[in-house]
Amino acid sequence: MSEFEVLLSEEQVQARVRELGEAISRDLAGEQVLVIGILKGAFIFMADLVRAMSVPLTVDFMSLSSYGSSTESSGEVRIVKDLEQAVDGKHVLVVEDIIDTGLTLKYLSEILRRRNPRSVRICALLDKPSRRKTEMAADYVGFVIPDHFVVGYGLDFDQRYRNFRDVRILKPSGDGGQEE
C-alpha cells in the first residue's frame, strides 16, 4: 500500500488558483490569450484556472514526452501532440502542473518562441526549485514546495491519483515497495 500525506488541501489549492487567475487577468487586461495546457498533468489545474480568468481566451493542448524514467525527466523532450491553433502574434499562457528540473518547460518555451508569439508566459501550479537543472522561472507559481514526489489535482504516479482534489506527498510503503 502506498501512503499519502496531504501537502495542500483542496481549499488552499482553490484559493490560490483564484488568485492566480485574477493576477493573470490583471496583467493581460484588454488582451486575448491562448492558454496552452500541457497534458496530462495540467488538465485539472487548467480547468479551474481558466474559470478564474476574466480575459477573453481560447484553449489548446500539447502533450510532451520526456525520455527517461517515470519520476525523472532526461531533458530530451518529444512533442507527442502538437497545438491545433497557430501561436504567431498571440499572447500565450503555458499552464503546467509542476516545474521540477525545469528541462521540459525550457525546451517547450524555446519551441513556442520560435513560432513568433506576441508574448509567452508560464504558469505552474507547483515549483520544486531545489531540483532545477537549468535556469527556468515561471511567471506565475501557485506554491513553492520542498523536494517531495507529489500526486493529485492532475499530478500522477504511474498515471494514477490524478483525481485527488488535494495535493499529497506520495510516500513509499514501509517495505520499500510501491505496489499495493
- Catalytic residue at 139? no
User: Any alpha helices (H) in the chain, and if so which ranges?
Assistant: 10-27, 43-51, 103-113
User: CB-wise, 21 or 41, nearer to Mg ion?
Assistant: 41
Q: How far is the CB of 94 from ligand IMP (least distance, A)?
A: 11
Q: Is residue 154 a contact residue for ligand IMP (CB under 6 A)?
A: no
| Helices 10-27 & 43-51 angle (0-180, nearest 10) | 60
Q: Of the residues 27, 82, 100, 156, which is catalytic?
A: 100
Report the distance separating Cα 91 and Cα 57, nearest Å. 10
Indicate which of ligand IMP, Mg ion, none lies near residue 62 (CB less than 5 to 8 Å, by partner kind): none
Q: Which three cell numbers stand for residue 124?
A: 505552474
| Per-residue contact flags (x/-) with ligand IMP for residues 74 to 113, judged by CB under 6 A | ----------------------xxxxxxxxx---------
Amino acid at 158: D
Query: Closest Cα to residue 124, out of 96, 105, 148?
Result: 96
User: CB-wise, 28 or 77, nearer to Mg ion?
Assistant: 77
Among 21, 41, 152, 154, binds Mg ion (CB under 5 A): 41
Q: How far is the CB of 62 from Mg ion (least distance, A)?
A: 11
Report the distance separating Cα 165 and Cα 6, nearest Å. 10
User: CB-wise, 97 or 166, nearer to ligand IMP?
Assistant: 97
Report the distance separating Cα 76 and Cα 147, nearest Å. 22
Q: Which residues bind Mg ion (CB under 5 A)?
A: 41
Which residue numbers are catalytic?
100
